[in-house]
Amino acid sequence: MPKLTPGDQAPPFALKDQEGHTVRLADFQGQKLLLYFYPKADTPGCTKQACSVRDGREDLAVLGVAAVAISPDEPARQKKFDTKYGLGFPLLSDADHAVAEAYGVWGEKSMYGKKVKGIIRSSFLIEESGKIIQAWYKVKPEETVPQAKLALNI
C-alpha cells in the first residue's frame, strides 16, 4: 500500500467510536484534524500515545485541531480504554482494517521477533479541506503531538 504524502487527499472514513456513534472524516471539514493509528488499546505504547494526545488536546484546540484515533479494537474495548484514562476524544474501530489499509498503515512488522501483519503506528495532520498536511509513519508514541505542533510551526 502506498504511503500518503503532503497534498494527498485523506481517504474518507466512517467508523464507530467508543460510544457507538459513526464518525466520518467529513465531520471535521472546516477544521484541522490530527488522526493517528495505534495497534491496540490499553497497551504501554498505545497508552503513552493516547495520554499524550489527551494532555495536548487544549493546545491543539487553540490551534483549531481536533484529535481522532483509530485501531482495530472493537468499540467496547475502546470504551474501556477511554474510561480508564479519561481520554475524551473519538477512538474509532477499524476491525477489518480497511481504513488502515487506505492510509498505508496496515502492514508487516516485527513483534517479539516474529513477522506479523498489523497497524504501523502512524499519525496524519489533515487540513480543513481534507488534504494531508503531514504524515508520520512509524511515529513514536510521545512524538505524535509535538510533531503536529512542529508541522503547524508552533
Instruction: Please report how the helices 75-85 and 44-62 are oriented relative to each other, as an axis angle in degrees rounded to 10.
Output: 70
Residue of 10, 15, 23, 46 marked active site = 46
Beta-strand relationship, 32-37 and 22-24: unpaired
Q: Is 51 a catalytic residue?
A: no
100 vs 65: CA distance, rounded Å = 21
Residue with C-alpha cell 503532503?
6
Q: How far apart are CA 45 and CA 25, in angstroms?
A: 25
- Catalytic residue annotation: 46
